[in-house]
């Protein structure tokens, strides 16, 4: 697979020209394995996380098939549908598709909640080749008869496990009722819990399975470290690290929206340019914060897991887990925001005594220990003391841990798997 080039994948010249302009030269493994099969119209089950190149893996064959089978537009109809859980992901996918299809005469529309619907309704009115949508807003517009899906030829369900976390699976099932049974279906998920696996089985017909970078893996270029620290000292430790390491662009994760807001405010009071991004922020505020972070006007972006997979910014040198996630898979997605496009990165995780079970779960998933932070710090003695306590508790914590999958209620750190805010984000 390593010697395969994009021309080898039988892509048409307009797409190859766009890829050259985007400085794409060698397909990633998921692209090399998926594109030939998808060009033939087959279904696909992909187990892959962000950062593996899966957007191009499904977008390139989609663009080519729609271009080669041009049809007369029907009002309000879409020829293909990409469902994704968050607005950030929808916008990111839309940008990629526009870039890949810049030399093709295809129509696109992107719809999501949190903003007025009229511009989206107008974009849908003449009919589109590709519709990128979040489930909640799409169901709203279907109910108002602003969009019709009876002519969809290609369906892509992206980040299915995140849709499960956000409570969107039932919405997806309602949307499927409006789609034709004869279609090409592409299903992507980083993990495959039973409910997601059941949905995949109901949607796909004789799919090939492509599995790239399983969720338990982290990029080889990421140096991930854990710092044991009391919860009340986390903010001073964060400021110390930002000063000592001269970090230019850091993505900091908290478990709750309230803590994200509070931390961003505290950083600004300490003259560290920061902003927060989470599900309760308006779409304009989220886009503005992300743009400021991307352009270097912010040094720190504080985020919650709800937007973790929609943040794809070049040059993030550090990811800092201010709070450890209560779902171990989220750890991999979080730290994967650094070390993009062949670069290296550093991930630091703060762990207080109430989060030791979360760390045990993460290490169990990774099948290795996370490195202990050993550099000089004013918190060195406290880190060493907390580490010793953690080592003593670790084996007991694993054996005593309750079997219930919901582990988010301890210490007021926030909701469990399905908690935190409303359904439509």
247 confidence band (pLDDT: 50, 70, 90): confident
Q: How many residues does the chain have?
A: 425
CB-CB neighbours of 282 under 10 Å: 10
Return the pLDDT at 342: 61
At residue 82's C-alpha, the angle toward residues 342 and 288, to 5°, is 60
DSSP string, 25-69: -S--HHHHHHHHHHHTT--EEEE--TTSSHHHHHHHHHHHHHHHT
Please give the Cα distance from 83 to 95 (Å, whole number): 15
* Per-residue burial over 250-280, b = 16 or more CB atoms within 10 Å of its CB, e = otherwise: bbbbbbbbebbbebbeebeeeebebbbbbbb
Distance (Å, rounded) from C-alpha 360 to C-alpha 365?
9
Domains of the chain in sequence order: 7-211 (3.40.50.300), 222-405 (3.40.50.300)
Q: How confident is the model at residue 392 (pLDDT cuts 50, 70, 90)?
A: low
> Which pLDDT score is estimated for 337?
81
Mean of pLDDT values over 314-324: 90
pLDDT tens digits, one per residue of 200-214: 999 999 999 998 765
pLDDT > 70? residue 219: no
> For residue 101, what is the enclosing H or E element?
none
Q: pTM to 2 decimals?
A: 0.64
User: What is the number of other CB atoms lying within 10 angstroms of the CB of residue 213?
Assistant: 21
Average pLDDT score over residue span 99-114:
94
Average pLDDT, the chain: 83
Position 347 scores a pLDDT of: 92
For residue 425, the model assigns a pLDDT of 34
Query: Could you tell me the pLDDT band of residue 246, with boundaries at 50, 70 and 90?
Result: confident
Per the structure block, which two tokens stand in for 382? 């406290």
34-74 tens-digit pLDDT: 999 999 999 999 987 666 788 999 999 999 999 999 877 88
What would the mean pLDDT of 153-161 be, rounded to a whole number?
93
């Amino acid at each position: 697979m390593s010697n395969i080039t994009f021309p080898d994948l039988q892509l048409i010249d307009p797409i190859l020209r766009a890829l050259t302009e985007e400085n794409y030269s060698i397909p990633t493994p998921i692209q090399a394995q998926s594109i030939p099969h998808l060009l033939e119209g087959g279904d696909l089950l992909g187990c892959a996380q962000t950062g593996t190149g899966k957007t191009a893996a499904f977008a390139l064959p989609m663009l080519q098939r729609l271009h080669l089978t041009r049809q007369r537009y029907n009002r309000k109809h879409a020829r293909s549908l990409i469902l994704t859980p968050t607005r950030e992901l929808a916008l990111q996918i839309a940008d990629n598709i526009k870039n890949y299809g810049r030399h093709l005469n295809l129509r696109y529309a992107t719809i999501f909640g949190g903003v007025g619907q009229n511009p989206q309704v107008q974009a849908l009115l003449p009919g589109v080749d590709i519709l990128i949508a979040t489930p909640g807003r799409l169901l709203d517009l279907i109910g108002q008869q602003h969009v019709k899906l009876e002519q969809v030829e290609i369906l892509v369900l992206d980040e299915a496990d995140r849709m499960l976390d956000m409570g969107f699976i039932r919405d997806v099932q309602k949307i499927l009722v409006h789609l034709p049974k004869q279609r090409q279906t592409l299903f992507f998920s980083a993990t495959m819990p039973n409910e997601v696996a059941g949905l995949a089985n109901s949607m796909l017909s004789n799919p090939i399975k492509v599995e790239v970078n399983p969720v338990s893996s982290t990029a080889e270029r990421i140096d991930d470290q854990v710092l044991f620290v009391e919860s009340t000292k986390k903010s001073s430790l964060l400021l110390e690290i930002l000063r000592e390491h001269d970090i230019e662009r850091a993505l900091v994760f908290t478990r709750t929206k309230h803590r994200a807001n509070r931390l961003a405010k505290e950083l600004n009071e300490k003259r560290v340019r920061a902003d927060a991004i989470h599900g309760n922020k308006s779409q304009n505020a989220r886009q503005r914060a992300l743009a400021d972070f991307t352009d270097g006007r912010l040094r720190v972006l504080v985020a919650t897991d709800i937007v973790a997979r929609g943040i794809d910014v070049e040059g993030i040198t550090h990811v800092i887990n201010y709070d450890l996630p209560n779902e171990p898979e989220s750890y991999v997605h979080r730290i994967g925001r650094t070390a993009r496009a062949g670069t290296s990165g550093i991930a630091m995780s703060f762990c207080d005594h109430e989060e030791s079970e979360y760390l045990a779960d993460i290490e169990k998933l990774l099948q290795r220990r996370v490195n202990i932070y050993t550099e000089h710090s004013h918190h060195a003695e406290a880190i060493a003391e907390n580490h010793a306590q953690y080592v003593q508790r670790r084996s007991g914590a694993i054996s005593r841990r309750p079997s219930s999958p919901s582990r988010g209620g301890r210490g007021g750190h926030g909701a469990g798997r399905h908690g935190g805010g409303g359904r439509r984000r």
